[in-house]
Amino acid sequence: MKFKHLYKSTLAACLLALSFPSFSQNSFKPQKDVLATIKKNFADADVQYKYMAKQFGPEQFPKTYHPTTDKFETSNSSWWCSGFYSGTLLQIYQQTKDAALLTEANNNLKGLEKEQYNKGTHDLGFMMYCSFGTAKHLEPKPEYKEILINSAKSLSTRFNPTVGCIRSWNSKANDFLVIIDNMMNLELLFYATKATGDSSFYKIAVTHANTTMKNHFRPDFSSYHVINYDEQTGAVKEKKTAQGFANESAWARGQSWGLYGYTVMYRETKDKKYLEEAKNIAHFILTNPNLPADKIPYWDYNAPNIPNALRDASAASVMASALLELCRYVDKKDGQEYFNTAQTIIKNLSAPAYKADLNTNGGFILKHSVGHFPAGTEVDVPLTYADYYFVEAMQRYKAFAK
Binding residues for substrate: 123, 181, 241, 253, 257
**Catalytic one of 46, 98, 123, 300:** 123
Judge whether 312 counts as a catalytic residue.
Answer: no
- Please say whether the beta carbons of 271 and 265 come within 8 A: yes
Task: Please tell me what DSSP assigns to residue 229.
Answer: E
C-alpha to C-alpha distance for 59 and 150, rounded to whole angstroms: 21
d(CA 161, CA 164): 5
DSSP, residue by residue, 57-115: -TT-EEEEEETTTTEEEEE-TTSTTTTHHHHHHHHHHHHH--HHHHHHHHHHHHHHGGG
Which residues are within 8 A (CB) of 204 and not within 5 positions of it... i.e. 6 or more apart?
Answer: 156, 159, 166, 189
CA-wise closest residue to 51 among 338, 345, 358: 358
User: What is the dihedral sign for C-alpha 387, 102, 128, 137?
Assistant: positive
Q: Are residues 209 and 200 in contact, defined by beta-carbon separation less than 8 angstroms?
A: no
Helix, strand or coil, per DSSP, at residue 364 = coil
Q: Does a cis peptide bond (omega within 30 degrees of 0) precede residue 307? A: yes
Dmax over CA atoms of the chain, in Å, equals: 58
Q: Which of 98, 181, 300, 312 is catalytic?
A: 181
Distance CA 6, CA 299 (A): 38
Contact 241, 251 (CB under 8 A): yes
CA distance 350 to 390: 10
Phi, psi torsion values for 57, nearest 5 degrees = -105, -175
Question: Do 315 and 351 form a contact (C-beta atoms < 8 A)?
Answer: no
Q: State residue 152 phi and psi, 5-degree precision.
A: -65, -40
**Residues of the binding site:** 123, 181, 241, 253, 257
Angle at 132 between CA 126 and CA 133, to 5 degrees: 75
Residue 368: φ, ψ to 5°: 65, 60
Residue 175: active-site member: no
Please give the positions annotated as active site: 123, 181
